[in-house]
Amino acid sequence: MCLAVAVLILACAAFCGMTRVRDGGDVFSFRRTPRYQDDWRLALVNEDYAVPEGYVPTLLTLSNGQRVDERIYPDLQRMFDDARAAGLSLFVREGYRTREEQTQIMENKAREYLRAGYSEAQAREEAARTVAQPGHSEHELGLAVDINSHTAEDEWRLYGWLAENAWRYGFILRYPQGAEDVTGIDYEPWHYRYVGDAAWEIYEQGCTLEEYLCR
């Protein structure tokens, strides 16, 4: 485990030599080396930076069979307990994924677009708007969870509660609306990433993980 974390930290030093433009014209110039890469909770994985080969977290299996990095479990459980106390019914729909599982999800999404009449190139481009490329998914870290409601009518009430409260437990909304040109992924109100103590600062600034680490 320690070796995997060390590889992750060293590899991350090569990231962030870029400039991106958000919807609305705001320009963000990113520093070459992300901050805080000695902290496992802030490991940056996105379209530009891949999970290092051989990285395998120590996993804990939830009651529904989904898995997460065991270090995030206490805070995840506290968040779920408080959400349930607020009258919400929720579960982790997706936790840790292997590289093979991420590849299959990408292929399935691309095939959907192919069946809809897109060319191969177009299908893969569209698929990449909602599915991270294999090797570039936070789910492969075990630090990301997709959270959904058991009842469809409470889905958006759950998303609202998470958006307001997840920072209290060390989680951030990883792909916020309006930040698609920074994160590379469409808005996902269900996708939360564990970042630990940095969650409050990221929430207060209203920024993405990329902006927090690299600008």
Catalytic residue, candidates 101, 126, 155, 188: 188
What b/e string do you get for 34-45 counting C-beta neighbours within 10 Å, with b at 16 or more? beebeebbbbbb
| Number of helices followed by number of strands (H, E) in the chain | 8, 8
Q: How far is CA 3 from CA 35, 47, 56, 68, 139, in A?
A: 20, 23, 10, 19, 19
Q: Taking 50 as the threshold, does the pLDDT of residue 105 lie above it? A: yes
Q: Please name every residue paired with 192 in a beta bridge, in sequence order, or none if there are none.
A: 145, 173
pLDDT value at residue 21:
52
pTM attached to this predicted model: 0.83
Average pLDDT over residues 158-162: 98
pLDDT value at residue 151:
92
Tell me the longest C-alpha to C-alpha distance in the chain. Answer: 48
Q: Taking 80 as the threshold, does the pLDDT of residue 150 lie above it? A: yes
pLDDT value at residue 28:
59
In the chain, % of residues over pLDDT 70: 85
Highest mean pLDDT among 27-36, 46-55, 174-183: 174-183
Tokens of 1: 């485990």
pLDDT value at residue 91:
98
pLDDT value at residue 13:
40
Average pLDDT over residues 124-146: 92
Contact, 190 vs 93, CB < 8 A? yes
Our CA dihedral for 58, 61, 65, 69, rounded to 10 degrees, sits at -40
Average pLDDT over residues 127-133: 86
Tokens of 113: 């677009």
DSSP summary character for residue 208:
-
Residue in the structure block whose two tokens are 């630990």: 196
Per-residue model confidence as pLDDT tens digits over 167-202:
999 999 999 999 999 998 999 999 999 999 999 999
Supply the CATH classification number for the domain 2-97+137-214: 3.30.1380.10
Rounded (to 5) percent helix, strand, coil in the chain? 45, 15, 40
pLDDT value at residue 115:
94
- The domain limits of the chain are 2-97+137-214, 99-136
Reply yes or no on whether 140 is catalytic: no
**Of 65, 113, 128, 72, the residue nearest 91 (C-alpha):** 65
Highest mean pLDDT among 29-38, 47-56, 148-157: 148-157
